[in-house]
Structure 1
């Protein structure tokens, strides 16, 4: 799927711009049963990343992703910083010294990020967190690759899976974070982290399919 630095940059800059553009939306979602700072925290972390983006070490993709993880962790507040930062750090560790990525490696990177999030946050599927969108999204990517679909179809499948899974968190009871204190009251609203994953994947899919015209 990703075979050049230009594609890595496309994905990363799309993540940055999307987090900044959706600061209020993500915060509003989080305020329903959380403390409402998710959008603000995420935006501040990726704002810092945007400011220092051109200075990041590009020796290889692993080093690049680990630098992203360290920057994000240093600026995002609350529990989100360590969780998102760990995801990028684990992704970087898996990418290693690679300077290009094929589909199988992308899946491995995502799986590593997922395991990092589980370890750092103590969460798992079904507990109303970003994992409830990230895992189905990764599964969809892997299945689409195994089916031999082209990259445009892969990102479409991933976006659809993430959105469907994020929407499904409305029926879950939060088990992690501040929302967990609301118990049954957390049922009936979507998880902000899961929706963020869906929005990011939708924007990545849009950017990916339009990359030929850039």
Structure 2
């Protein structure tokens, strides 16, 4: 999916701008059955990434993503920091010492991120967490690549899958995080983390289309 740094920068910088722009929205979602600090915490982490972005080690993509993971972990509060940071760290470890990525490697990076998040958060698919959007999104990417889709189609299908999965978390009962303490009351509202994944990939898909049309 990417053969140079431009796509990596597109994805990371879009993540930053999306999390900053949706601070209140993500916080409002989290406040339904959580403590409401998710949007604020995520925004502060990506705000720090934005401030230090150009200073991060770009020796290779793996090193860069691991630096991103450490920075995000150090700034995002609560359990979100270690969770999101672990995702970046595991993806970086899988990318390794390369400045070029193909679709298969991107899928491996996402699978590794999922495994790391599962281990760190002791969460599984269906526990009403960001995994419930991240896993279907990754599946959609793998399936689109296998079908020979273009990069724009791949990202677009990933966005559709993530949105559908995130919306479906409204039917789940939270089993992790503060929302888990509310039991059945958590049913009926979407998970903030899963929705954040959907909003981010949707925005990436929009920016990717603009990139392809240039």
Name the TM-score class by shorter chain: over 0.9
How far did residue 4 of structure 1 move?
Answer: 1.1
Name the counterpart of 2:97.
97
CA distance in 2, matches of 1:17, 1:2: 21
Residues 11-30 of structure 1: per-residue CA shift (max 9 Å, x gap): 10000000000000000000
Q: How do residues 83-162 of structure 1 correspond to structure 2 at under 5 angstroms? A: 83-162=83-162
CA distance in 1, matches of 2:185, 2:28: 17
TM value normalised by structure 1: 0.99
Give the conservation status (yes or no) of the 8 Å contact 2:152–2:212.
no
| SS at 1:125 equivalent | coil
CA distance in 2, matches of 1:155, 1:66: 23
How far did residue 132 of structure 1 move?
Answer: 0.2
Residues 68-109 of structure 1: per-residue CA shift (max 9 Å, x gap): 000000000000000000000000000000101000000000
Name the counterpart of 1:68.
68
Name the counterpart of 1:22.
22
| SS at 2:105 equivalent | helix
CA distance in 2, matches of 1:31, 1:131: 19
How far did residue 212 of structure 1 move?
Answer: 3.8
Residues 100-142 of structure 1: per-residue CA shift (max 9 Å, x gap): 1000000000000000000000000000000000000000000
Name the counterpart of 1:11.
11
CA distance in 1, matches of 2:3, 2:41: 31
Question: Number of aligned pairs?
Answer: 214
Give the conservation status (yes or no) of the 8 Å contact 2:134–2:197.
yes
Name the counterpart of 2:188.
188
